Amino acid sequence: MRRLLTGMLALSAVAVLAACSFAVKGPAAKPVQFAGIIPAPARFEAGQGTFAFGRGTAIVVRSEAGAVPAGFLKEGLKKRIGLNLAIKQTAPASGAVVLETSASASVSPEGYVLAVGPEKVTISAPAEAGLFYGVQSLLQMIDARGAARGRTIPCARIEDQPRFGYRGLMLDESRHFFGKETVKQCLDQMAYLKLNRFHWHLTDSAGWRIEIKKYPKLTEIGGIGNHTEPDAPARFYTQDDIREIVAYARLRQITIIPEIDMPGHASAATRAYPEFSGGGSQRYPGFTFNPGSEKTYGFLEDVLGEVAALFPGPYIHLGGDEVSFGNQQWDTDPQIVGFRQEHGLKDKVELEHYFIRRMAGAIEGLGKVTMGWDEITSSQVPPDKSVLFWWRHDKRLLLRRALQKGYRVVLCPRAPLYFDFIQLEGQQVGRRPMFNDLARVYNFPDPIIKDVVPEGTATQIQGVQACVWTESIAGDKRLKYMTFPRIAALAEDAWTPAANKNYDDFLGRVRGYLRVLDREKIHYFDVFDPARTPEPPAPERAAKPLS
Ligand code: ACM
């Protein structure tokens, strides 16, 4: 049943041409593997013949878990091949797509088996997530055929399950605000590519973007401005907006992780409520919360309480990064120094660790797991109750030690997974000097797992995440340009077994994905022909990244 892929994958070279042209030569003449599916499935076996969708084809749902995936299939088919198929509970003699839950399916809870035969298509999975992903693979098979030929798909058998449980994308909406429609479009594409965690960076120095009922000035004042225009009218999500987006994501098997960054990156909050400010620096005024005031802890616990009630997922991310950018006053402010001495804390670093442990305790008290940037490792937060995000790619020892201490880790190193870094030499706007092109994003995480992850700790790697920081990304078009199609490489890093990964073959499937992006009117960077989808113009006042 299992086809050995290695032999099937040709070894034709990928040419990355220098500087201005930077085009990628794809395997245009080769048949597309895996029926065009991204991320490449764990096992794929091509069959004989084809299945043809027609007006009489039924979508058959045999269990409660199939109801939502069947709805997505129905809508997906309507959009792609113009057929509005009925959803039924029993199968006709032939011509059906059957969605069934099967405890015996030999795949993990998110896995599925998709069998396309000449008479019927069956998707079986242990749970709703697998049925949903089976539907995505089926829709991708149709997309790979194109609008004109999509009513007929090749017979095949796919047994699939993810490599990692955490398959994430982070969006920074503090530096620039994009709004509900953009977020929903990103969630749609995440679902299509089987990504399942949306890490939402909702607060930072440029703007506070989530309504907190008890502290309305957080959005009335803290929501004003962005990284390019400090006086832009307040933009933020109301609690109703948040509930709407959470529900939208949930239907698509995506858990949202809200990030409330603390004790640094807090200037928007401290502009609104200066009484909770622990000071900042000349470059970063009001950068920190005041760790020496009980009132600050009370305020943040209230905020986290409202956040926990809005997001049903098991996690809250408390940031914890780069506190040293603006904690100088922690050495001189009499209240902060007094608090530190009273709690037997040697210096401001110990005070920072105390702050993080205390807020992690508050998150635990809300029944959630604490997530934080890799700085929180040194705070001694309990390894069984916290998850670290390893972002400083140059701190390999830190990753090793964190794993040795038993922490669970999400890998999101700046190189290659920060998507605000440029993707080709000639790009006008974006972080440098590294550039995170498609190939580098694709060549992950195995080099890190091989070179850095200590033996016996690989199971603590929860997964991978790309981060779209937006100091240099103002506007929907640039956001898409920086995210697509790199997100497809991320999806394959997160889902596909290392043995099935092959960049050349992936490029063949990316060609098809670009057509999907055209259909969805999503701007992107055309890796094959950069001149075809030009870089959007820079914002009037080009923003300078903070870090
Ligand atoms: C970060 O990039 N400061 C997490």
Is 325 touching ligand 1 by the criterion CB < 6 Å? no
Q: Position 416: which residue type? A: P
By most ligand atoms within 8 Å of CB, the mutation choice from 170, 199, 391, 420 for ligand 1 is 391
Is 229:276 a contact under the CB 8 Å cutoff? Answer: no
Is 500:42 a contact under the CB 8 Å cutoff? Answer: yes
Instruction: Band the pLDDT of 2: cuts 50, 70, 90.
Output: very low
Q: Which atom of ligand 1 is nearest to the CA of 319?
A: 4
pLDDT digits over 39-72, tens only? 999 999 999 999 999 999 999 998 999 999 999 9
Phi, psi of 342 (to 5 degrees): -60, -35
∠ CA 423-498-5, nearest 5°, is 110
Q: Which residue has the tokens 């990103």?
A: 186
Task: Name the DSSP class of 115.
Answer: E
Identify the bridge partners of residue 45 per DSSP, sorted by sequence position.
Answer: 157
- Return d(Cα 234, Cα 414) in angstroms, integer: 30
The secondary element (H helix, E strand) that includes residue 243 is helix 239-251
What's the N-to-C CA distance of the chain in angstroms? 50
Instruction: Band the pLDDT of 147: cuts 50, 70, 90.
Output: confident
Q: What is the predicted pLDDT for the residue at 84?
A: 97
pLDDT digits over 202-243, tens only? 999 999 999 999 999 999 999 999 999 999 999 999 999 999
Q: What is the predicted pLDDT for the residue at 434?
A: 86
Q: Which of 176, 201, 227, 265 is catalytic?
A: 265
- Ligand 1 centroid–CA 508 distance in Å is 33
Q: How far is CA 208 from CA 215, 260, 291, in A?
A: 11, 9, 20
Residue of the CA atom closest to atom 1 of ligand 1? 321
Is 418 touching ligand 1 by the criterion CB < 6 Å? no
By most ligand atoms within 8 Å of CB, the mutation choice from 469, 471, 546 for ligand 1 is 469
Is 311 touching ligand 1 by the criterion CB < 6 Å? no
- Taking alpha carbons only, the member of 279, 253, 282 closest to residue 264 is 279
Is 419 touching ligand 1 by the criterion CB < 6 Å? no
Instruction: Band the pLDDT of 8: cuts 50, 70, 90.
Output: very low
Is 193:491 a contact under the CB 8 Å cutoff? Answer: yes
Other C-beta atoms lying within 10 Å of the C-beta of residue 342: 9
The pTM (predicted TM-score) of the whole model is: 0.94
- Return d(Cα 53, Cα 56) in angstroms, integer: 8
Mark whether 160 is an active-site residue: no
Is 42:159 a contact under the CB 8 Å cutoff? Answer: yes
- Return d(Cα 369, Cα 377) in angstroms, integer: 15
Is 300:358 a contact under the CB 8 Å cutoff? Answer: no
Other C-beta atoms lying within 10 Å of the C-beta of residue 179: 13
Q: Where are the beta strands (DSSP E) in 270-368?
A: 315-319
pLDDT digits over 490-499, tens only? 999 999 999 9
- Ligand 1 centroid–CA 278 distance in Å is 20
Q: Which token pair is 434?
A: 């590294």
Residue of the CA atom closest to atom 3 of ligand 1? 321
By most ligand atoms within 8 Å of CB, the mutation choice from 204, 322, 376, 393 for ligand 1 is 322
Is 321 touching ligand 1 by the criterion CB < 6 Å? yes
Is omega for the bond preceding 445 within 30 degrees of 0, making it cis?
yes
Is 547 touching ligand 1 by the criterion CB < 6 Å? yes
Residue of the CA atom closest to atom 2 of ligand 1? 391
**Cα 271 to the chain's mean position, in Å?**
30
Is 391 touching ligand 1 by the criterion CB < 6 Å? yes
Q: Which atom of ligand 1 is nearest to the CA of 414?
A: 2
Q: Which atom of ligand 1 is nearest to the CA of 467?
A: 2
- Taking alpha carbons only, the member of 528, 457, 516, 470 closest to residue 491 is 516
Listed in sequence order, the DSSP H helices in 431-497 are 438-442, 446-451, 476-483, 486-495
Report the percentage of the chain scoring pLDDT > 90: 88
- Ligand 1 centroid–CA 162 distance in Å is 27
Residue 455 has pLDDT above 90, yes or no: yes
Mark whether 204 is an active-site residue: yes
pLDDT digits over 292-318, tens only? 999 999 999 999 999 999 999 999 999
- Ligand 1 centroid–CA 402 distance in Å is 17
- Ligand 1 centroid–CA 321 distance in Å is 6
**Cα 148 to the chain's mean position, in Å?**
32
Q: Which atom of ligand 1 is nearest to the CA of 389?
A: 4
Is 546 touching ligand 1 by the criterion CB < 6 Å? no
**Cα 17 to the chain's mean position, in Å?**
29
Is 373 touching ligand 1 by the criterion CB < 6 Å? yes
3-class SS of residue 472: coil
Is 204 touching ligand 1 by the criterion CB < 6 Å? no
Q: Where are the beta strands (DSSP E) in 231-322?
A: 255-262, 315-319
Q: Which of 322, 364, 476, 520 is catalytic?
A: 322
Q: Which atom of ligand 1 is nearest to the CA of 469?
A: 2
The secondary element (H helix, E strand) that includes residue 49 is strand 43-52
Mark whether 505 is an active-site residue: no
Q: Which of 100, 160, 172, 204 is catalytic?
A: 204
Q: At what angle do helices 503-519 and 486-495 cross, to 10 degrees?
A: 130
pLDDT digits over 330-382, tens only? 999 999 999 999 999 999 999 999 999 999 999 999 999 999 999 999 999 99
Is 322 touching ligand 1 by the criterion CB < 6 Å? yes
